[in-house]
Structure 1
Amino acid sequence: MELKDQWCFACGKDNPIGLKLEFVEEEDTYRTTFTAKPEHQGYDGIMHGGLVSTLLDEVMARYINMKGFNAVTARLEVRFRQPTPLGQQLTARARIVSQRGKLYEIKSELSLPDGTVTAEGKATIAVVEDTAS
């Protein structure tokens, strides 16, 4: 599926200051990787919490978009388990937990290469239109 908006801060290829995330679906999960640099920090050596939230939000909402729906985040919860360091490849994974009508509940996590989870996300994603038909 071709994405229309290439200026998305998280995944847009045309955004010169964007994260340019790329995604893969494997079995029942959706994932992306990202390595935070100094320009992504909050405190010294630690990724800014807003960008941690952005990674989790993007992997969850985009999963529904990838399935052919125009969808937006209706609710986002993030639990920061520990500081997310700069300079390590991070993996954000999402999986669909449930669906009721046009609402999907999705969970995600952000982990370090050794599997340590630094943050967890939960979102309600609302389908606003079906683009698959």
Structure 2
Amino acid sequence: MNKQPVIPPDSHHQCVACSDNGLFNLKFYQDDNNAVTASVWLESTWQGYQDQLHGGVIATLLDAGLTYCTFLFAPQSVTASLNIRYHHPVPIAVYGEVRAWCVKAKHGMSRLEATLTVADTVCASATASFMQTRAS
């Protein structure tokens, strides 16, 4: 599979989640199916309940993947709605993978989906709507 790095627009370079100085320093890659993926070390300092990743961190990781996916077709988009399903507790001190893809895009609105997977198990998934904004 051919993976190309996804380059964020200049307006996104200070993102708290995925910039070089951000919490997660995520590096997303586009695959042949127009999805984006990033591998992330799930730090023990991001713990919620004992030995489990905090739910807010999970939500942020999924939202970051969804946002990076919009860079492929609508770079100035923001989250309009985000629905998360927590399937299994997410362990800490392991690698996880965030994957996101577009389901539909039309008239400045898009619907996307994402997953957080650990050891081939989908631990959380998200559906989201994004709306395109004007470049600032």
- Report the TM-score, using the length of structure 2 for normalisation: 0.86
Counterpart position of 2:102? 96
Kindly report which structure 2 residues correspond to 1:52-91, keeping only aligned pairs within 5 A, or say none. 52-67=58-73, 69-91=75-97
Matched-pair contact (CA < 8 Å) for 2:74–2:132: no
Superposed CA deviations along residues 14-67 of structure 1, whole A, max 9, x for unmatched, are: 34xx21100000022111111111210101110000010001111011211243
Superposed CA deviations along residues 59-103 of structure 1, whole A, max 9, x for unmatched, are: 011211243521100000000001000011100111111112111
Structure 1: how far apart are the matches of 2:8 and 2:95? Answer: 26
Counterpart position of 2:28? 23
- Letter in structure 1 aligned against 2:30: E
Does residue 125 in structure 1 map to residue 136 in structure 2?
A: no
Q: How many residue pairs align between the two structures?
A: 128
Counterpart position of 2:4? none
In structure 2, the residue corresponding to 1:105 is in which secondary structure?
strand
Alpha-carbon distance change, 127 to 68 in structure 1, aligned in 2, over 3 angstroms: closer
Counterpart position of 2:14? 7
RMSD: 1.7
Q: Percent identity?
A: 23
- Letter in structure 2 aligned against 1:12: S
- Report the TM-score, using the length of structure 1 for normalisation: 0.88
Alpha-carbon distance change, 2 to 55 in structure 1, aligned in 2, over 3 angstroms: closer
Alpha-carbon distance change, 2 to 95 in structure 1, aligned in 2, over 3 angstroms: closer
Structure 2: how far apart are the matches of 1:52 and 1:2? Answer: 21
